[in-house]
Amino acid sequence: MGESRSRIRELPSQLVNQIAAGEIIERPASVLKELLENSLDAGAGTIDVDIDRGGITRIQVTDNGCGIVKQDLPLALSRHATSKLVAIGDLQSIRSLGFRGEALPSIASVSRLRLRTRIEDDRMGWEVSSDGAGNLSGPQPAAHPVGTSVEVRDLFYNTPARRKFLRSERTEAYHIAEILKRLALSRFAVHITYRRDERPVATYPAACDERQQDQRLRAICGAAMAEQSLYFAHAGSDLRLWGWLGLPTFSRSQRDLQYFFVNGRMVRDKTVAHAVRQAYQDVLYHGRHPAFVLYLELDPSRVDVNVHPAKHEVRFRDTRSVHDFIYHTLHRIVADDTTPRHAVSTVAQLPRELPRAGDRVGAAQLTMAMRLAEPASGYRASPGSVGHAPAVHTVHEPDGALPLGYALAQLHGVYILAQNQKGLVLVDMHAAHERITYESLKDQWIKDGVRGQSLLVPVTLQVTTQEMATWSRYGDQFDGLGFDIEQLSADTLVARKAPALLADVDIPALVRDVLADLAECGSSLRIADRINEVLSAMACHGSVRANRRLGIEEMNALLRDMEATERSNQCNHGRPTWVQLSLAEVDKWFMRGR
């Protein structure tokens, strides 16, 4: 008996299909994803989705794509049969979403499947069906418009061990809705309708211009995302990145509004996640996550999509260049567009999730003289106002060219009240000055470079083979960051010098973290991040505090510095530094015009 079981044998085709289904089909949403990708690859402009009981009892996808030729229908339900690949060289430049030729036979092996289709040259459609036991019937004539319909019933009915792991109908329907959202974001030109238990749930009309695309973004991600995000498009190095980048003040407690597409394919990628996280550094509150819908377009030969059975992941041929392109593009956008001069909307309607400041302190704390962005005479301060904030200050200058306008007064020693062309501006004095000071310290650090400091006792690090290989390849990057690291043996590095600003940092842990980043992305900003943390703390302690009385001249100096400073819409901890109240909003408070 034991000898018989140990012999090598060919598995039955039905079992092979069910094993493949285990890699591809996790739940009803997985089925839907595969069917939708087939519809898109068929050139569909309209897709209708119907599900019953969370997709457990029925999933149907109907499209107006090119359809399937009658003679090819039996092959459509056979493993390793596809119209999307011809030769092995095609794997190096895949342009379709599906290409393995495993989805339909895998689905058919764990459900009851019916496929109806018609091509444009045929007068009638054709139908094939599978019972989940490997029995195929058809093709036989069927009435059907040009395109394809695939109906999947009783998912996992013949694999009860898999079926028991399905969640509630509501949970499965939620995952299906998420798949549809991703599809709708990946193909704006496709009209999509979704019905659940015979009731309309969502309709996404084809979006062919910017206004329609904005409407689809609102329908999927919410009005707040559409209103508090920046649309951009940037190309370079044969790469193109475009989409919507959520403002830092629209940060989230979860990663629930993060969509990234590579050549129209929704993917999860560590390289991309790292680049986005670094781009938002300095402007997000601790533990918060940015919101974004991003599209990366590149030559298909530069990305390998054949690294995951369900095609959730990709591998870039040149990871470092892609990482750097995404990081530098988003970093520049965040820096340029989080200043008062580039504010995209009123900031008065802040998200409810935004953390409170909680760091107001008394006048006994350290204060710091404020530098003036312009000559004092340029602000026309009232005589005797320096050091004593007046209750009211009349603005005589036209303020159209100045986003934050001119200071009027100071409120409770905490806020600056200013008038601009739109209405009233309120500025958090400490938060704004903290950002200005921080950016100034960073600029000085970049100008002077990283000063290394010799360690009293050299620090040795035991490293793995992989870490040593990474150091051998990228070790020179440590030299320009104030480190002096040498190889002592096959598994040992020694650090003799470290950045002067990081004297109290755990050097071995930092070096290992940097090596991990380099191995994964080809670059690392961890050392810069740690130095920025030190500079941020210095800026926090060196900025003006609550109850510090400022004169009009000093308040105007702060406003001008904010307008000239990158990322000044947020403090170093991600909180807003100012809000805009329009004159119309103020009029509503007093019911003017009614």
| pLDDT tens, residue by residue, 483-524 | 899 999 999 999 999 888 786 778 888 888 888 888 877 777
Q: Are 406 and 559 in contact (CB under 8 A)?
A: yes
Confidence at residue 346, expressed as pLDDT on a 0 to 100 scale:
37
Confidence check: pLDDT of 204 > 50: yes
Confidence check: pLDDT of 95 > 70: no
Backbone dihedral region for residue 247 (phi beyond 0: left; psi -120 to 50: alpha; all else: beta): beta
Q: Three-state secondary structure along 187-252?
A: CCCCEEEEEECCEEEEEECCCCCHHHHHHHHHHHHCHHHHHCEEEEEEEECCEEEEEEEECHHHCE
Compute the Cα dihedral for 488, 491, 494, 499 and give only its sign.
positive
Q: Are 369 and 354 in contact (CB under 8 A)?
A: no
Give the mean pLDDT of the chain: 81
415: β partners: 411, 428
Structure tokens at 60: 């149907």
Q: Are 396 and 380 in contact (CB under 8 A)?
A: yes
Helix (H) / strand (E) element for 441: namely: helix 429-448
Confidence check: pLDDT of 227 > 70: yes
Confidence check: pLDDT of 305 > 80: no
Confidence at residue 525, expressed as pLDDT on a 0 to 100 scale:
74
Confidence at residue 442, expressed as pLDDT on a 0 to 100 scale:
83
pLDDT band at 395, cuts 50/70/90?
very low
Specify the length of the chain in residues: 594
Confidence at residue 379, expressed as pLDDT on a 0 to 100 scale:
30
For 458, residues 6+ apart whose C-beta sits below 8 A from its C-beta are 494, 495, 496
Task: Write down the pTM of the prediction.
Answer: 0.74
pLDDT band at 550, cuts 50/70/90?
confident
Structure tokens at 586: 């103020």
Choice among 254-263, 296-305, 343-352 with the minimum mean pLDDT: 343-352
Tell me if residue 499 falls in helix, strand or coil. strand
Compute the Cα dihedral for 261, 266, 267, 268 and give only its sign.
positive
Distance CA 263, CA 91 (A): 15
For 131, residues 6+ apart whose C-beta sits below 8 A from its C-beta are 112, 137
Whole-angstrom Cα Rg for the chain: 30
Amino acid at 256: D
- Domains of the chain in sequence order: 13-204 (3.30.565.10), 222-337 (3.30.230.10), 355-594 (3.30.1370.100)
Percent with pLDDT over 70 in the chain: 81
Instruction: Please report, for residues 9, 15, 25, 54, the alpha-carbon distance to residue 2 in angstroms, rounded to integers and kept in the order given.
Output: 14, 22, 33, 44
The residue among 527, 507, 425 whose CA lies nearest residue 460 is 507
pLDDT band at 55, cuts 50/70/90?
very high
Q: Higher-confidence residue: 400 or 195? A: 195
Structure tokens at 363: 């006048």
| pLDDT tens, residue by residue, 106-154 | 888 889 999 999 999 999 999 999 988 878 887 999 999 999 999 999 9
